[in-house]
Amino acid sequence: MPEPLARFVDLHHHAGSDLYRRRRSVLATGRRYAELGGWVVVKSHLGSTAAAAWEARQEGLPVSGSVTLNDIGGGLESRTVERAVFEHGDDGPRLIVYLPTLVGGHASRLNRVPFHPLMDVPSLHGKGIRESLPAVREILRAARDLPVVVATGHADRDEVLTVVDEAVALGLDRLLLTHPTHPMCGLTTADLGDLAAVPSVYVELTALTRLLGQHDAERFGEVLRAHPRLVHSSDLGQPDQPDVDDWLELAGKWFAEAGLGPGRVAAITAHTPSELLS
């Protein structure tokens, strides 16, 4: 296993510009994580943060990027992924490639304000994985030859399991399940246990899922122990949610509450996310 990128690694943090207003820009986010000894992957539902992440790293900041394949960001096109890879440069960890997140009618509990006053968010919704499976296959096929990690985005249980099957069939070596036990996705702890036998599959558990009451303490603890390649990320960046230092303090309490030892905590917060990005 490689040395961790930092004391902690957050694979999922929202920074502006994005679909909604965020607490900080990419550069300001990088500065905050640097102060706390962490590494951050910045995400935007509008598309790619690759170029902004590259710029942050030129300033010595611990930042890598992602591209979200919503229609407004270029959609499920391999060229969209390739362009983001080129923008991201060759001096950092792998880029995360999110399958679509602007799908369906998920009702969020967040207080959200569109980033731009002209933005009509519902009009930006597009097709999900179920309606776009041939295009998803092409993304997975392209990802085999690129320095990226594919993440499942806002997919339901059947879609997530379909992507796992497709990725295994194509020989993809790493796949991140985006907050799969969140109600919009709906995977069970038994599902995560079954997927433990698939070495390319990594599982995300976010702080926001707990903060919004989607998981209580018991459920959160179950998920923490349900899969060997689990990563804990924040899914934060919203102005009215906890800041990075507050999240770290809360996470420490949650891990203690769940009875996790220091080795497991280090694995899910630093070693496993670093391995995924290596």
Could you tell me how far CA 151 lies from the centroid of its own chain?
7
Among 205, 196, 3, which Cα is nearest to 93's?
3
Write down the pLDDT at residue 122: 87
Instruction: Give me the amino acid identity at 143.
Output: A
Q: Do residues 27 and 55 make contact, with C-beta atoms less than 8 angstroms apart?
A: yes
Give yes or no for residue 106 having a pLDDT over 60.
no
Write down the pLDDT at residue 107: 59
Percent of the chain clearing pLDDT 70 (strictly above): 97
Mean pLDDT of 106-127: 82
Mean pLDDT of 183-205: 97
Q: What would the pLDDT profile of 123-137 be if each residue is shown by its tens digit?
A: 898 898 999 999 999
Backbone φ, ψ for residue 106 (5° rounding): -60, 125
Model confidence band, residue 141 (pLDDT cutoffs 50, 70, 90): very high
Positions of E strands within 162-217: 175-177, 201-206
Domains and CATH numbers, the chain: 8-277 (3.20.20.140)
Q: What would the pLDDT profile of 1-24 be if each residue is shown by its tens digit?
A: 668 999 999 999 999 999 999 999
Write down the pLDDT at residue 105: 59
- Please give the helix or strand (H or E) that residue 26 lies within, else none: helix 26-36
Write down the pLDDT at residue 113: 86
Residues counted in the chain: 278
Write down the pLDDT at residue 246: 98
Q: What would the pLDDT profile of 74-87 be if each residue is shown by its tens digit?
A: 999 999 999 999 99
Write down the pLDDT at residue 112: 79
**Both structure tokens of 8:** 């902690």
Could you tell me how far CA 194 lies from the centroid of its own chain?
21
Q: What would the pLDDT profile of 55-73 be if each residue is shown by its tens digit?
A: 999 999 999 999 999 999 9
| Secondary structure (DSSP) of 82-132 | HHHHHHH-SSSSPEEEEPP-S-TT----S---BSSTT--GGGG----TGGG
Q: What would the pLDDT profile of 145-189 be if each residue is shown by its tens digit?
A: 999 999 999 999 999 999 999 999 999 999 999 999 999 999 999
233 bridge partner residues:
206
Predicted TM-score (pTM) of the model is 0.96
Give yes or no for residue 241 having a pLDDT over 70.
yes
